[in-house]
Amino acid sequence: MSVPVTMRQIAERAEVSIGTVSHVINGTAKVREKLRIRVVEAIRNLGYQPSQLARGLRRNQTSMLGMIIPDVTNPFFPAVVRGVEDVAYKRSFRVILCNTDNDPHKETSYFNELRSYRPAGLLVIPAAESHIAVQLRSLATSGPPVVCIDRRPTGWDGDVVVVANDAGSYAATRYLLRMGHRNLAVITGPLHLANAVERLKGFRRALDEARVSIEPEYIQEARFDRTSGYHAALRLLRMLPRPTAIFACNDLMALGVLLAARELNVSCPEELSIVGFDNLDFTEFTAPALTTVHQSGYQLGATAARLLVERIDGLKERPKKLVLPIELKIRHSSSPPVARAAANGRGKRYSPSTSVR
Amino acid sequence: MSVPVTMRQIAERAEVSIGTVSHVINGTAKVREKLRIRVVEAIRNLGYQPSQLARGLRRNQTSMLGMIIPDVTNPFFPAVVRGVEDVAYKRSFRVILCNTDNDPHKETSYFNELRSYRPAGLLVIPAAESHIAVQLRSLATSGPPVVCIDRRPTGWDGDVVVVANDAGSYAATRYLLRMGHRNLAVITGPLHLANAVERLKGFRRALDEARVSIEPEYIQEARFDRTSGYHAALRLLRMLPRPTAIFACNDLMALGVLLAARELNVSCPEELSIVGFDNLDFTEFTAPALTTVHQSGYQLGATAARLLVERIDGLKERPKKLVLPIELKIRHSSSPPVARAAANGRGKRYSPSTSVR
DNA sequence: TTGTATGCGTTATCAG
DNA sequence: CTGATAACGCATACAA
């Protein structure tokens, strides 16, 4: 029992051929009940566990789903992983997770290595500077099916599951505008990322429709993390006139904004409204609680996994682009601009009685 | 180029035998420079990628590290994963992550399946009701090395990396006692978990040393998540006399306590001091910011991975238990008890002038 | 229905 | 140093 038990041993134990054993395991041929039982018992008794390595080699396919993500530590991704996990597990696929650390080289190396394990399918959330599209295409015909999540790498025209980024920031911006803000700033993600671009686009669209103009320096590009959001906010909050509202294109950056505001003694939401994007757990517990655009990481993952499984099952339709809906969660980091903001030089739109609450 | 290229093809291309190719790839024998170059070029040109499946089958060992964790979604674990990732990657091991959803069955099935991929080593953070110890032992001699992280499953006497749980809660409790609290309550994790028990033990030890007694109902067992922490806090806060301080054995539960306190209009820290454990990111941003016991998930993972790699390299010493240090982070959810608390019937230790701030 | 034999892509053992 | 060749554990086409 110390050395791994193989099919041969259970064949001997059950006094059948090794081929028969394989058949009862895979249900690939009818086996006389008597023998079947003997085989099953032998398997149980010897605690036999088929070698995935041998099986995969022979079939040229394993039952693993490879999943490549930029950073487990980013609080948005774990929910996506869970979504994938749950639907994969039901279909008896196992998911193996690789963390690229947002490093394109690591991404490439994981990608290649993963492939050589012959996974049934691949799920990838591209890294920031990902060049993965070229490798992805190379296996478009021959390799396992791939679906990209959350970000579409430039040059990739296969399956993709994303959220309605554009609609999300559009809704957030409209909300700010309706409350009377005219001095809006935005902190975007890295603009070589498709989703960062889309979020900026939604923001601009809302502004254009409302015929509100924006100074170029009110558009700050950051890296989707807290620190870069914090620094961008510092720059913004020192500008004159100071923006009365900042839309941060994800919650991590919104948190950075909140921290910067605290540091500069700019009160939120009285002097500064902040809106984020993602609806991460912590947004409920910051002070004040963050208004944000909700997107479901879990649904993102689950949907992508479902699509991937369909592809594995042989779905031949042309590449799909699935877009998940978003929802604006209004909490306490946003309010109408108050007179104090007007002191910065813009017109007064509120009487002094609209005081700080 | 559409079908995977094998060693045979690069052997033909380089006009050498397949064995030679293997030798240049693995450096397992000296090869004449001329041939070596030809081989290397062929590999580059054809974009050859060795089949990990075949290699693993032959060697009965792959270069994967299997990692089993209860729940990616639990904010403490991603840091651990990152720690593992970083040291593994440097040694050119790839880690494959499996999420058990805290389900012992899933844990077992992942464990067995993982084994059949012949990973070089296994890292496991046992699930709550884990019975994995028995399977772990079965492979103690024959299977790949295993190191357990964070929790030692009952019955497992192999390698383990944990934090100084006992010392952590001891420090937290002493701190509360020194500030004058005498009416302490604790919310523990599931008490079949070794680390939950240790944290409770540290709490008790501090109390015993200070000769402060505690009513049994002031010790509430919960499940290490926010919801169960919330409910436990609700129960606690309705007791008379009401505790003036609650030590929650992890931050998620501490957050639950904070929420419960808000709901019941019990102000923190004036009427209730809260101390957590873990020092998750969000603890800095709650209102008030949480005092908590810091433990480094990253170090936990990195240390465990280092130990595992040593074992893979053949380290034969007897099982190690590595204990990582902790550190108390004092923030704003804790303060000396005030007179108001005394209204519950306990002695007055503070003059009324120590008012609510 | 069941057994036999071949090959999946490598590595490792041996001759040469 | 290099080239055959035999496993590794399994699935499968084919024979019986």
Instruction: Tell me: do B262 and B308 sit in the same domain.
Output: no
Average pLDDT over residues B58-68: 95
DSSP, collapsed to helix, strand or coil, labels residue B74 as: coil
Range of the domain at B37: 7-50
How far is the C-alpha of A240 from the C-alpha of A265, rounded, in Å? 16
Q: For the domain that residue A24 is a member of, what is the CATH number?
A: 1.10.260.40
> Model pTM?
0.89
Q: What are phi and psi for residue A337, nearest 5 degrees?
A: -70, 150
Taking an 8 Å cut-off on Cβ atoms, the answer to whether B94 and A98 are in contact is: yes
Chain A residue with Cα closest to B297: A73
Q: What is the pLDDT of residues B115-165, one digit of tens each?
A: 999 999 999 999 877 888 877 777 767 789 999 999 888 788 899 999 999
Cis ω for the linkage preceding A241 (within 30 of 0): yes
Q: Are residues B335 and B345 in the same domain?
A: yes
Query: Is the domain of A197 the same as that of A230?
Result: yes
Shared domain check, B249 and B196: yes
| Distance to chain B for A353, nearest Cα, Å | 28
Q: Model confidence at A132, in pLDDT bands (50, 70, 90)?
A: confident
CB contact under 8 A, B82 and A99: yes
Which CATH number characterizes residue A187's domain?
3.40.50.2300
Judge if A253 and A281 occupy the same domain.
Answer: yes
Residue with tokens 């913004």: A236
Cα A91–chain centre separation = 22
The total number of structural domains in chain A stands at: 3
- Closest residue by C-alpha to C1' distance, nucleotide C7: A58
Asked if B51 lies within 8 A of A78 by C-beta distance, the reply is no
Question: What does the pLDDT look like over B162-214, one tens digit per residue?
Answer: 999 999 999 999 999 999 999 999 999 999 888 999 999 999 999 999 999 99
**Nearest residue of B to residue A47, measured between CA atoms:** B112
Strands (DSSP E) along B179-295, which ranges? 184-188, 219-221, 245-248, 273-278, 291-294
User: What is the layout of strands, in order, in the sheet containing A121-124?
Assistant: A94-99, A64-69, A121-124, A146-149, A159-163, A321-324
Q: Which residues pair with A187 in a beta bridge?
A: A220, A248
pLDDT over 80 at B228, yes or no:
yes
CA distance B324 to B296: 8
Q: Are residues A188 and A125 in the same domain?
A: no
Q: For C2, which residue's CA is nearest its C1'?
A: A20
Confidence of residue A140 (pLDDT cuts 50, 70, 90): low
Q: Name the nucleotide with the smallest C1'–CA separation from A30.
A: C1
Q: d(Cα B69, Cα B300) in Å, to the nearest integer?
A: 13
**B317 — pLDDT class (breaks 50, 70, 90):** very high
Going by pLDDT thresholds of 50, 70 and 90, the confidence category of residue B233 is: very high
Q: Are residues B291 and B201 in the same domain?
A: yes
Angstrom distance, B9 CA to C4 C1': 30
The answer on pLDDT for A346 being more than 70 is no
At residue B338 the predicted structure's pLDDT band, cuts being 50, 70 and 90, is confident
CA count, 13 A, side-chain hemisphere, A176 = 34
The verdict on residue B357 lying in a domain is no
Answer whether A278's CB lies under 8 Å from A293's CB: yes
Stretch B12-21: mean pLDDT:
95
> Which of A1, A86, A99 has the CB atom closest to B85's CB atom?
A99
- The total number of residues shown for chain B amounts to 357
Q: Tell whether A307 and A345 lie within a shared domain.
A: no
Determine the distance from the C-alpha atom of residue A59 to the mean position of all C-alpha atoms in its chain, rounded to a whole number: 31
* A99/B96 Cβ within 8 A: no
Residue of B nearest to A139 (CA): B2
B50: closest CA of chain A, how far (Å): 7
| Distance of C1' in C3 from CA in B227, Å | 59
